[in-house]
Copies of this chain bind each other. A is one copy, B any other.
Amino acid sequence: MDVRVQEAPFDFGVEANAFAAAQSGMGAVVTFTGIVRDLPDAPLCHMMIEHYPGMTEKALHGIATKAHDRWSLGGSLIIHRFGRLAPDEMIMMVATASRHRKDAFEAAMYLMDYLKSRAPFWKREETAQGSAWVAARDEDEAALIDWSEPHA
Contact = CB atoms under 8 A, between A and B. Distances in A.
B17 A28 contact: no
12 contacts: A20-B90, A21-B88, A25-B38, A27-B34, A28-B33, A29-B31, A30-B30, A30-B31, A30-B108, A34-B101, A101-B109, A105-B105
A11 interface: yes
A32 B112 contact: no
Contact of A35 (B23, B31, B109): B23
A28 B20 contact: no
Contacts of A16: 12-13, 16, 31
A26 interface: yes
A37 interface: yes
Contacts of A143: 102
A124 to B, nearest CB: 16
A34 B31 CA distance: 12
Given A13-B14, A30-B31, 20 more contacts: A12-B13, A12-B16, A12-B20, A13-B13, A13-B15, A13-B16, A16-B16, A20-B90, A26-B35, A26-B37, A27-B34, A27-B36, A28-B33, A28-B35, A30-B32, A31-B31, A32-B101, A32-B104, A32-B105, A102-B143
Contacts of A99: 37
Interface string A69-111: 0000000000000000000101000000001011011001100
